[in-house]
Amino acid sequence: MAGTLYLVGTPIGNLGDFSPRAVETLEKVDFIAAEDTRVTLKLLSHFGIKKELVSYHEHNQRQRGPQILERLQNGESCALCSDAGMPCISDPGEELVRLCAEHGIPVQSVPGPTAAMTALALSGLSVGRFTFEGFLSVKKGSREEHLASLKEEPRTMVFYEAPHKLPSTLKDLLRVLGDRKIALCRELTKVYEEVHRTTLAQAVAYYEEHPPRGEFVLVVEGAPPKKESQVSRKEALALVQQLCGEGMSLSAAAREAARRTGHPKGELYRAALEEEE
């Protein structure tokens, strides 16, 4: 009979948040797969737990995943632990869960704190609908593509960021998204927990003067709802023709008319082209 993989949420700062069920789970499993065995060993020592630890992280998951799977198939039980928070959230644990799902291995969750949910609750922004975006890529092309896809995103957005990359990330967010409300949550549940509610422009200026410290969760306001155009399509097309008559190319005229009226540029361009034909 196959064993069970337990996803055990660990404290994001305050050890008092570790649940009795989580302690019980770590005590009963055969072994623990940890993102960083040194971090998890400190947690185990605090609660007086002695258990076999194996490392499982982004650099060894392809090799270690099948090894853990084999042990589960042979009847052993395993607890998967991230350094902080829930496994699989911005974490290679999702690959291990996928392997288990593909091979019929039971997976159970032992919920714990999550930085994203904690920050959302503290942000003061709308949290009825939100999107978790994790860490932005350090590769320029991927980063730009990711940010561009969020420009019109109406839901509140959640990002994770390291302190040394925070200033450049704030500048990129401001450049692409425009000035928005933001809550910068750092050192959540720890002694120096701080929530800085401000705007992107003010945050850029603030962290140029105050070097950031600690891990951050950024909660960014979504795009405002699009205003419906008060100008009719016929009037918008007339504007395109007027601009063309003033010397603009059809493409440039359609773009300018779209900016002024709110009608889609492509729609105006095609309609004007059909009228010319």
| DSSP secondary structure letter of residue 7 | E
Please report the pLDDT score of residue 277 as a whole number: 62
DSSP string, 159-186: EEE-GGGHHHHHHHHHHHH-S-EEEEEE
Please report the pLDDT score of residue 259 as a whole number: 83
pLDDT in tens, the chain (277 residues): 889 999 999 999 999 999 999 999 999 999 999 999 999 999 999 999 999 999 999 899 999 999 999 999 999 999 999 999 999 988 889 999 999 999 999 999 999 999 999 999 999 999 999 999 999 999 999 999 999 999 989 999 999 999 999 999 999 999 999 999 999 999 999 999 999 999 999 999 999 999 999 999 999 999 987 665 578 888 888 988 898 888 889 888 888 888 888 888 888 989 888 877 6
Listed residue (154, 113, 152, 147) closest to 131, CA to CA? 154
Cβ-contact 89, 116 below 8 angstroms:
yes
Using CA atoms, how far apart are residues 66 and 70, in angstroms rounded to an integer?
6
The residue length of the chain stands at 277
Please report the pLDDT score of residue 170 as a whole number: 97
Please report the pLDDT score of residue 229 as a whole number: 55
Tell me the pTM.
0.78
